[in-house]
Amino acid sequence: MKAYRAALLRFDDDQRPVYDADGLLVVGPDANGKPVVRAAGDHATLIGNYPGVSVEDLRGQLIAPGFVDMHVHYPQTDVIGAPAAGLLPWLENYTFPHESRFADPAHAREVAAFFFDELLRHGVTTALTFATSHPASVDAAFEEARARGLRFITGKVLQDRHSPDGVRDETEQSLIDTEALIQRWHGVDRLGYAITPRFAPTSTPVQLRGAGELAAKYGDVWIQSHVAENRDEVRWAAELFPDARSYLGVYGDFGLLRERAVYAHCIHLDAADRAQMARTGAVAAVSPTSNLFLGSGFFDFAAADAAGMGYGLASDVGGGTSFSPFHTMLAAYCVGREGHTKPGLSLTPGQLWWQHTAGAARALGLEGVVGNLQPGCEADFVVLNPQATPLLARKTSQANSLDELLFALIVLGDDRVVVRSVIAGS
Ligand code: GUN
Ligand code: ZN
C-alpha cells in the first residue's frame, strides 16, 4: 500500500468534479492483487485509517485521473500537421502512404514505442486506437502496451475497397485475421480488441457483414469506425449505400451499432441518427482538434445531450494536431462556443475534464475501471504541476474557484504540466 498527499481531483456519479485542496490518495491491491484506489479524499479525515503506510508528499501539485483518449491512430504519429484540402485528399495523399509502411513489423514496433511514450508524457493512460490493415501493426501495439502495463484497446483496420495497394486488405482473410487477433489479445492483461472497419466507404458490404457477425459473436469486444465527419464523405457513403437511411444507418444495417461501438466525429448527423446512437448504446468520439484542422465541422454537444447519446473526447492524431488532453479540451470548448452552424454554448471546465476522463471511460464501457479515482478504480493517475510555466503559475495563483483553476490548466496547459503518469500504481 502507498499513499500520496496532494490536491486531488475526481468525479462523483453525477459527473461533478470533487476536489480536495489537501487530499490523500491511497493505492493498494484489491482482493485479486490488482493495484486499485483504496481511498481518496481529505487528508486530515483519511490519514488516521492508514497508520504505517508510506505517504509521498506532493503538496503543491494536483493528482487527477489519467486521461482517456477515445480515438487516436498510432500509425499516424508522423502524419500530424499534413495539410490537405479536407479529409479525402488528406487520406489519399498522406495517410494511406504512411500507413502502408506498417507492413514492416520493425517500423510498426518503433512507432508504437514512440507513440506510447508520447501518450504517457501527455498524461494519457488509456486509449482506443486504430492500428493499420496489417495484423503485425496490431501485435506491435499490444506488445508495447502490455510491456507498459496499460489498459489499451486497438484493432486491425478493415478496408477492402477504395484503398490503394499497400493498405487494402482482402475480404475473407481480413475477417480471419480479425478473429485470430481477438483470440490472441482480447482480455490478455489489460488489453482489449476493437473490430475496426475504417469507414463504410472503404469496406464492401461483405466485409461489413462479416465485421457485424464477429461483433455479435464477441459481445464484449469493442467496435470502432468513423462516421459523418465531412460533407464529401457523407455524399460518397450515400452513393455507395443507396438503400441505407443515412450514413450512420449503414453501420446499423450491418449490426455495428451497439454498446462498446465508438464512432469518431458524428458531426453531420440528423435527429434520427442521434436517436439511433442513444437507443443502441453506440457512442461518439468527439475529435475537436482534428475537426478544426481538417475543416470538417463542429460537433453539436447540445443535440447529443438532448438525444441522450454518449460521447467523450479524443485527439484523433494524425488528423488531430496534438496528443495533449489540454489542447483537446480547449478545442472542445471552442467547438462548443461555435454558434453559426448550431447553437453555441460554454462547456464548463468540469464538463470538459469529465469528458476526457470519467466520461470517456463511461462511453467506452469502462466506468469504475479507469478515468476516475473513486475506490476500486484501477490506479492510473497523473501528477500535474499548476506552476509549470510562469504564466500558469501567475494565473493559477489567482484562481478563486475550482472552475478557475481547471480552466487555467485547460487553456494554458500542455505536456509541461504533466510531472508524472502513474500506471497501475507504479
Ligand atoms: N476516415 C477514414 N479514415 C480516417 C482517418 O484515418 N482519419 C480521420 N480523421 N477520418 C477518417
Ligand atoms: Zn480517426
Are 319 and 290 within 8 A, CB to CB? Answer: yes
Quick count: other Cβ atoms within 10 Å of Cβ 370?
25
Q: For residue 46, what pLDDT is reported? A: 98
**How far lies 142's CA from each of 32, 188, 190, 235, 341, in Å?**
23, 9, 10, 35, 40
Rounded Cα distance between 8 and 19, Å, is 6
* Angle CA 312–318–320, to nearest 5: 45
Q: How confident is the model at residue 289 (pLDDT cuts 50, 70, 90)?
A: very high
Rounded Cα distance between 67 and 70, Å, is 10
- What's the chain's average pLDDT? 98
Are 36 and 378 within 8 A, CB to CB? Answer: yes
Q: For residue 269, what pLDDT is reported? A: 98
Out of 198, 226, 292, mutate this one to test ligand 1's pocket (max ligand atoms within 8 Å of CB): namely: 226
Q: For residue 314, what pLDDT is reported? A: 99
> What average pLDDT does this structure show over 89-104?
98
pLDDT digits (tens, 9 = 90+) for 115-171: 999 999 999 999 999 999 999 999 999 999 999 999 999 999 999 999 999 999 999
Report the separation in Å between the CA atom of 40 and the middle of ligand 2, taken as the mean of its atom positions: 35
> What average pLDDT does this structure show over 399-406?
98
Buried b (16+ CB within 10 A) or exposed e, 38-70: bbbbebeebbeebeeeeeeebeebbbbbbbbbb
Q: How confident is the model at residue 392 (pLDDT cuts 50, 70, 90)?
A: very high
* Whether residue 320 has its Cβ less than 6 Å from ligand 1: no
pLDDT digits (tens, 9 = 90+) for 213-255: 999 999 999 999 999 999 999 999 999 999 999 999 999 999 9
Rounded Cα distance between 48 and 3, Å, is 12
* Whether residue 73 has its Cβ less than 6 Å from ligand 1: yes
The pairing of strands 67-73 and 35-42 is unpaired
CA-76 nearest atom, ligand 1: 6
CA-based nearest residue to 283, from 298, 268, 263, 299: 263
pLDDT digits (tens, 9 = 90+) for 59-88: 999 999 999 999 999 999 999 999 999 999
Contacts 24+ apart (CB under 8 A), 93-101: 94/318, 95/318, 96/163, 96/164, 96/166, 96/167, 97/164, 97/166, 98/318, 99/75, 99/132, 99/133, 99/157, 99/166, 99/167, 100/164, 100/165, 100/166, 100/167
Helices (H), strands (E): how many in the chain?
17, 15
Q: Which residues pair with 7 in a beta bridge?
A: 62
Q: For residue 242, what pLDDT is reported? A: 98
The pairing of strands 67-73 and 381-384 is unpaired
Give the CA diameter of the chain. 68
Ligand 1, atom 8, residue with closest C-alpha: 319
* Whether residue 20 has its Cβ less than 6 Å from ligand 1: no
φ and ψ of 367, to 5 deg: -65, 135
* Angle CA 44–49–53, to nearest 5: 95
Ligand lying closest to the C-alpha of residue 69:
2
Q: Three cell numbers at 358?
A: 470519467
Out of 79, 132, 161, 199, mutate this one to test ligand 1's pocket (max ligand atoms within 8 Å of CB): namely: 199
Q: For residue 340, what pLDDT is reported? A: 97
CA-201 nearest atom, ligand 1: 2
Q: Three cell numbers at 283?
A: 457512442
> What average pLDDT does this structure show over 188-197?
99
**How far lies 300's CA from each of 127, 261, 354, 391, in Å?**
23, 19, 17, 32
Going through 90-208 in order, the beta strands assigned E by DSSP cover: 124-130, 151-155, 157-158, 191-197
CA-based nearest residue to 285, from 339, 224, 194: 224
Q: For residue 209, what pLDDT is reported? A: 99
* Whether residue 199 has its Cβ less than 6 Å from ligand 1: yes
* Whether residue 87 has its Cβ less than 6 Å from ligand 1: yes
* Whether residue 71 has its Cβ less than 6 Å from ligand 1: no
Residue 65: enclosing H or E segment and its boundaries? strand 54-65
The full DSSP string for 30-60 is -TTS-EEEEEEEEHHHHGGG-TT-EEEEEEE
Q: For residue 335, what pLDDT is reported? A: 98
Q: How confident is the model at residue 387 (pLDDT cuts 50, 70, 90)?
A: very high
pLDDT digits (tens, 9 = 90+) for 326-363: 999 999 999 999 999 999 999 999 999 999 999 999 99
Q: For residue 395, what pLDDT is reported? A: 98
Rounded Cα distance between 134 and 152, Å, is 18
Q: For residue 91, what pLDDT is reported? A: 98
Rounded Cα distance between 413 and 416, Å, is 7
